Amino acid sequence: MKENIKLNTIDEYIETCSEEIQPKLRRLRKIILDASSELTEKISWGMPTFYHKGNVIHFAAHKKHIGLYCGAEAVQYFRDKLQGYKTSNGTIQIPNDSELDEDLIQNIVRYNVEGNRNK
């Protein structure tokens, strides 16, 4: 992604990323949006962000992976299903050369939507 560019939409964000990763980012966006009809999109912290009564999930393209920022509680809750991924406090790294796990991503989104609904 190009630095120091004011982005207003997720489409604009994806367009700033390498052509090789753009289809995967579009697919990730669709997976996230298909998980819940309650989500709205915005750019927050310079990243695509999906929101419902609070941030639900963000993603960002990096050189060798896509960072999925879902919060520490979700990473902890899904830890058994995340064994094959590098994780840290609230973050999951999806290598650029691996497939997107649609069910896992959607379950994380739904978990966070439900958590936000109960705040």
pTM score: 0.93
List the Cα angle 44/30/7 in 5-degree steps: 30
Parse the chain into domains and list their residue ranges: 10-114
- Tell me the β-bridge partners of 93: 67, 86
Q: Which residues of 16-51 are buried (b: 16+ CB within 10 A; e: fewer)?
A: ebeeebeebbeebbebbbebbeebeeebeeebbbbb
Using one digit for the tens of pLDDT, what is the confidence trace for 103-113?
A: 999 999 999 99
- Tens-digit pLDDT profile for residues 19-35: 999 999 999 999 999 99
Q: Position 85: which residue type?
A: Y
CATH architecture of 10-114: Alpha-Beta Complex (3.90)
